[in-house]
Chain A
Amino acid sequence: MSDGLLNVRDLRVSFGTGPRAVTAADGVSFSIAEGECLALVGESGSGKSVTARSLVGLAGAGAHVRAGELTLRGRDLTRLSPREWRDVRGREIGLVLQAALVALDPLRPVGAEVAEPLRLHRTVPPAKVSARVLELLADVGVPEPERRAAQYPHQLSGGLRQRALIASALACDPVLLIADEPTTALDVTVQAQILDLLAARRARGTALLLISHDLAVVARLADRIAVMRDGLIVEHGPASRVLTAPAHPYTRLLLDAVPTSPAPRSAGVRKALASIGRDPGESGDGGPDAGEKAVVVEAEGLGKAYQGRVAVEGVSFRVGAGETLGVVGESGSGKTTVARMVLGLVEPDAGIVRLEGREWSGVAERRRRGRRGRIQPVYQDPLSSFDPRFTAGRILADALDAANRPAGQDEVAELLKQVGLNPDLAGRHPRRLSGGQQQRVAIARALAARPRVLVCDEPLSALDVSVAARVLDLFAELRDRLGVASLFISHHLGVVHRISDDVLVMKDGRVVEQGSAEQVFTDPRHSYTRRLLAALPTLERS
C-alpha cells in the first residue's frame, strides 16, 4: 500500500466529541498511482466527500482527522502546518468541487479565477500569467478563450463553468486531481464532455480521485472502484470486476439501481399496459386512436413566452388513464413550464389543456378550484413543498381536508401505508425524515385528493440512486393499483425509459421527437435524441 503517488492508510475522520461524536470515515485505506483513476462511490452520508476533503486538509470545522499513513509522493501530509497545506493545495493537489454552477466568484471574470492559483503559487512569471490562462482554458476545451476569460460566470453555460473550474484546478499542473461529483448538476451531453476531459488529463499522467454517487458515471473513467458505505470501504477492486462481478451486496444494490438503457421494462409497466389493452410493442403514438381510450389529460399546441423569449411552443400530447408520458430534455428545454401549464399554475399564451375532456386552461380560478384535486403535483424537492411548521401527519390531514375527505388519524395512516411508510411517522417532522421518506410523504399528499393525474417534475433527482429506484417502483405500483395517469418529467433518460409508455423529447421549448418509449429509445429518429442517448452513461465500458 505504500508504492502509490498518494497513500492513505486507516484514515479516520470524526466530528464532535464524547458520546455524540459522529464518525464519517472509519479506517479508509487506498492508494492511487500516477495516471490512474480511482473512483470513490457511495450515497449521501457514506463519507466519500469527507474522505476527499481530508486529503486536502479541509475536512471542516470540528473534524478530527487521524491516519495511519497519509502521504503524497512520500511527503507526510498529517504533519503539515496550515501554511504548508496552502502550498500543497492547488499546486500538488487540485480540487474540483461539486456545485459547479455556484463555485465561481460571481464578481470576477473567469480568467481571474483561473489566474489565481498561478499567482498564488508563482509557478509562472507574472508577465506570462495571462498567456497561460488562455492556454489552460483552451486545454479544457473552452472555445474562444480570449473572449471567455473576460466574461463573468453568469455569462457562461454550466458546462463552460465546470470547464473553467477544472482549468483552475489544473493551473499549477497538480499531480493529483480530486473531483467531487464533477458532473452532478450538468446535463447528460455536457456530462459526457467533462468526463472525456478528465480522461484526457489522466492519459497525460495526472492521478485522478473521482467521487460520485453514480456508478454509471464512474464506469466510463475509473481504473479501480472503491464503494463506500457508512464511512467504510465495503468493496474495492478493478472497475471491470466491481461492475461485472460485485462481491458485496451493497454494490449489487447500487448496480441494480442504475437505470440502464435499453432496459427490460418492469413487470409493472407490462401489466399496466395489458390492463388497458395495449401491447408494449406498439403502444400509442399520441395519434387518433389514443383518443378513443379514456384520455385523462390532453394538451393542444401549448405555447408560452416570458418577456418575449419563447419558453414553450407547439407542444401537444394526450395521456390516457393509467398511462405515463415521459418528458425528457435538458435544462432550459421548457419541461417545467409544460408541467406548470398542465397543472393550471401558469396560463398558456397559446393552445389549450383539457382535463378529463373539459377545458382546464383559460378557465377562471374559482371554477377550476373544485377540480384541482384531480391533477396533483409531485416536486423535485419535497421538503420545500411542505409547510415548515407541519408534521407529516398534519400535511396529509390538511390535504385530505382540502379534498373534502375525512382527515382523521386512520385516514392519514392509510395514506402513509399506501406509499410504503410506517404510520408511526405521522408525528415526525419532514425535516427529520430521509429524502426518500420525504418524497413518499409528498406522493401521499398528492394521492390524498384521489387524483386521476400526477404531474411529477424531476421527482427522483434529489434522491440517492438506490432510494430513487424504490420510489420509481412506487410510482409504477401506484399506477397499476390506482390507475393514475402521469406526466413524468426527468432529465434522466434511463428513468424515463423505465416508467414511460410514451415519450416526448423537448429541446429549446419544442418537441423534437414524440412516440412510444420503445420506439424513441431503440430507434430514435431525431439527431438530438440520438445524441442524448449516446451521452447517457451506461455500465458497459467502452
Chain B
Amino acid sequence: MIDSTFRAAPGRALAGARPGVWLAFAFLALIVVASAAPGLLAHGSPDAADPLRTLQPPGAGHPLGTDQNGRDLYVRIVYGTRDSVLTGLGATVLALGAGVLVGGLSALGGRAADAVLMRAVDALLAIPGLVMALLMITALGGGTVNSMIAIAVIAAPGYARLVRAQLLVVRRSGYAEAAVALGRPPVLIAVRHLLPNALPPVLLLATLGSGAAIGATAALSYLGLGPAPPAPQWGAMLQQGQEYFSLAWWTAVAPGAVLTLTVLSLTVVGQYLQKLPAGRLER
C-alpha cells in the first residue's frame, strides 16, 4: 500500500501537458506541412528575385521582409524547410540504424565483436564532431547527401553505445532467461524480446538528437558545404543574412529564429516523451 501512496497519477496523453509542449507539437506540425507541401503555406517561387524591392523590412506583402536579391524571406524559409529539416532527420535515421546494428552486434555478438566494435566507436568519439564532418566532406565533397552521411557518422557512436548498454541490461532480465529456458534460439530472443525492450530510450534520444542533427546540417551549409547556393537552406540563408545584418537585421534573424524554434520544439517534445510513464511507449 505504500507504493500506491506515491504512485503518480497516470498522465493522459497530451491532456495534462504544459502549453509549451502544445506549441512545440503545433510548430512541428507546421514543419511537416512545409516539408511535404510548401505550396500550401507560401505562394510564389523561392527564387523569384525582385531587384526593385531588395532588403525590404517585414511588412505587408513580405511578412518576413526580403533579402539582398529581393527574394521573399518567408517563401524561401518555407521552401527551405525540406532540405534543412529532412537532411537532419535523414542523418538521424541513418545514425540510428547504424547504432542499432553496431550496438546490437557488440552486445550480443560475443566478446571479440564487442572489443573491436567498441574500440572503433571510441575512436570515432575521440574526434570532435564538427572536425570529423569537415574531414568527411573534404573527402566526399559537399551537397545534401554527403552532409547527411557526415552528420550520421558523428551521431552513430552515441546511439551504438546506448543500444549496447540497454541490451546488456535487458539481456539479464528474467524474461530473457525465461525465453532461454523455453529453448528459443538466440536470434529469435534478440528480435522478439531484447530489441523491442531495449529501444524505447534510444528512440527518445533520437528525438532529442534529431534537433542537434538539424542544427549540424545548418552549420555545414552555413560554412558553404551544404547544397549549392540558390537552394534556400536555412544555414546558408543565415550566412548570407549575416553580411547584411547592419543594413537589414531580419535577413539573418528570420532563418535563425525558425532554425532555433525547430530545434527547441524537438527538444521540448523529446523531453516530454521522456517524462511519460514508461508504459506509455510500450504499446
Contact = CB atoms under 8 A, between A and B. Distances in A.
Contact of A343 (B5, B181, B185, B283): B181
Interface string A406-441: 000000000000000000000000010000000000
Nearest to A455: B181
Contacts of A398: 182, 192
Contacts of B179: 402
B175 A387 contact: yes
A47 B181 CA distance: 38
A63 B5 contact: yes
B69 interface: no
Interface in A388-411: 388-389, 398-399, 402-403
A345 B177 contact: yes
A120 to B, nearest CB: 24
A386 interface: yes
Interface string B8-28: 010000000000000000000
B4 interface: yes
B162 to A, nearest CB: 19
Nearest to B7: A15
Contacts of B174: 379, 381, 384-386
B183 interface: yes
Question: How many A residues touch the partner, as a band?
Answer: 35 or more
Contact of A376 (B173, B181, B184): B181
A384 B182 contact: no
A266 interface: no
Nearest to B173: A384
Contacts of A45: 1, 4
Interface string B169-200: 00001110111111111000000110011000
A389 B5 contact: no
B178 A445 contact: yes
Contacts, number: 90
Contacts of B196: 387, 389
A542 to B, nearest CB: 31
Contact of B2 (A60, A388, A399, A431): A60
A376 B1 CA distance: 32
B175 A402 contact: no
A384 B183 contact: no
A377 B181 contact: yes
Nearest to B5: A60
Interface in A18-67: 22, 24, 44-50, 53, 59-63
A61 B5 contact: yes
Interface stretch (A232-240, A366-374, A464-472, A486-494): A366-374
A318 B124 CA distance: 55
B1 A389 contact: no
Main secondary structure, interface of A, reads mixed
Nearest to A429: B279
A172 interface: no
Contacts of A385: 174-175, 177-178
A449 interface: yes
A50 B2 contact: yes
Contact of B183 (A61, A369, A388): A369
B197 to A, nearest CB: 6
Contacts of B175: 384-388
A340 B283 CA distance: 32
Contacts of A403: 182-183
B1 A46 contact: yes
Contacts of B184: 369, 402
A389 B197 contact: yes
A445 to B, nearest CB: 7
Interface string A342-355: 01110000000000
Contact of A372 (B183, B192, B279): B183
Contact of A371 (B180, B183, B279): B183
Contacts of A431: 279
Contacts of B180: 345, 372
Interface string A289-303: 000000000000000
B273 to A, nearest CB: 17
B1 A49 contact: yes
A274 B181 CA distance: 31
B42 to A, nearest CB: 43
Contacts of B6: 60-61
Interface string B148-169: 0000000000000000000000
26 contacts: A15-B5, A24-B1, A48-B1, A49-B2, A50-B2, A59-B5, A60-B5, A60-B6, A345-B177, A369-B184, A372-B181, A372-B182, A379-B178, A381-B174, A385-B178, A386-B178, A387-B175, A387-B193, A388-B197, A389-B197, A389-B283, A402-B182, A402-B183, A402-B184, A403-B182, A449-B182
Given A376-B181, A376-B182, 11 more contacts: A16-B9, A59-B5, A63-B5, A375-B181, A377-B177, A379-B178, A381-B174, A385-B178, A402-B184, A403-B183, A448-B182
